[in-house]
Chains A and B, each alone.
Chain A
Amino acid sequence: MEDRTSLDNLEAELAHSERLASIGQLAAGVAHEIGNPLTGIASIAQNLQHDAKACVPDIHLELDEQASDVLKQVDRINAIVRSDVEIPSSPIVTGDSNQLVQVFVNLIANACEASPSGGTVSIHALVDESQLAVTISDEGSGIDEDLRDRIFDPFFTTKPVGQGTGLGLSLVYSIVASPRPGSQGSNSPGPGSAEPGTPTPR
């Protein structure tokens, strides 16, 4: 038996990311085409600013101000073009790669162990200006509310004796929390449970 819904979702996501990639390529091409005329405008405005110095003070100030206004508009367009080009790039996270591997191995292994047979573990990443928030979720039963505060405690485990050390999430927490606190456990409503989100400093 296979889960059509998640397969369909995957296909839709793939199509979406392909569309984004082609928009990115288009934006890069447009950026280049705009770049040259923009460079011409900026250079001429700066030359005019210089030449205006030869005029009488009243006219000089007025011309200088107008050339500055042109340059401000150039900066605006430049900022738009830049942001369009830079969006499709992958986020770069600074950190110890070994530690980050440990974080992901532990979280994904936990999600797999908590999953029913054939269940899906999904990984989502959300980028904002300074952080990359990664959420790993499984379709398991979730963690009881009264135990949730303890999931990051060392030696705390819900697995049968001898099967879990209770150190995985505590290790994850100590790694993610060390440079900047921001790891939190959450359970989404419904049958599935969400593993801790791990906002990682970029």
Chain B
Amino acid sequence: MNQRILLIEDEEVILKALRRLLERNRYEVVTAKDIQSAQACQPHDFDLVLADLRLPGAPGTDIIPLAEPVPVIIMTSHASVRSAVAAMRAGAIDYIAKPFDHNELLLLIERSLMQNRLQTQNRALRADLERTMPALRYIMNTALEPLMNEALGRKRHPPQGSGSGCSIDCH
């Protein structure tokens, strides 16, 4: 089944071009022009939300709590490092500066979906383990979680040197 993306953007031209790009890459796309109409699309039923920061009415980051736990990527305009940082603080999984390279955007979407999938799996497995084998909780918390976090971190920022190893921090 195709993954579903909710695209929130008020500029018709960008909306059209992005829809073509995403649909061509086998995503199912639903579009909205502001937060209010996005809310009516049941944002939490999507796999990912791609929202412009500057929208009429309310900023794109307002969709983050409404879509929870669906990952949200925020599109920011030029050189607004401050707004990018604010978007991440508000809980966005990532951001991309306009104008963007299509391949870069596709990569970002793929990576965000993967990261979200891993997190969801991790949560489910943990709940499962805690229920069936409470003794394993200790191992989960002390050894596996740091490894998991490290693996996720590595995914986003590939190691700079060659040869890397994970260290287990035992308390």
Binary contact readout A15-40 vs B (1 if CB under 8 angstroms, 0 otherwise): 00000000000000001101111111
Distance in angstroms from A148 CB to nearest chain B CB is 43
Partner of B98, one of A35, A44, A46: A35
Does B77 count as interface, using CB distance less than 8 angstroms?
yes
| Alpha-carbon distance A170/B102, docked complex (angstroms) | 55
How many A-B residue pairs have C-beta atoms within 8 angstroms? Tell me: 59
A40 to B78, CA, bound (A): 14
Q: Mark B3-24, 1 if CB is under 8 A from A, else 0.
A: 0000000010110011011001
- Chain B residues near A36: list those with CB within 8 A: 11, 14, 77, 98
B79 touches A39 (CB 8 A): no
Interface residues of A in 22-66 (CB under 8 A from B): 31-32, 34-44, 46-47, 50
B79/A82 in contact, CB under 8 A: yes
In the complex, which residues of chain A have a beta carbon less than 8 angstroms from the beta carbon of B169?
none
Q: Which residues of B contact A34 (CB under 8 A)?
A: 78
- A-chain residues with CB within 8 Å of residue B102 when the two chains form the complex: 43, 46-47, 50
B126 partner residues in chain A, CB cutoff 8 A: none
The secondary-structure label for the interface of chain A is helix
CB of A39 within 8 A of CB of B24, answer no
User: Do residues B21 and A85 form an inter-chain contact, with CB atoms below 8 A?
Assistant: no
**Listed residue (B13, B17, B18, B24) with the most chain A CB atoms within 10 angstroms of its CB:** B17
Given A39-B14, A44-B17, A82-B78; 9 other pairs, CB 8 A cutoff: A31-B78, A35-B77, A38-B99, A39-B99, A39-B100, A42-B99, A43-B13, A46-B21, A86-B79
Question: Which A residues contact B (CB, under 8 angstroms)?
Answer: 31-32, 34-44, 46-47, 50, 74, 78, 81-82, 85-86
Q: Can you offer 9 A-B residue contacts whose CB atoms are under 8 A?
A: A32-B78, A35-B77, A36-B14, A38-B99, A39-B99, A41-B99, A42-B100, A43-B18, A46-B17
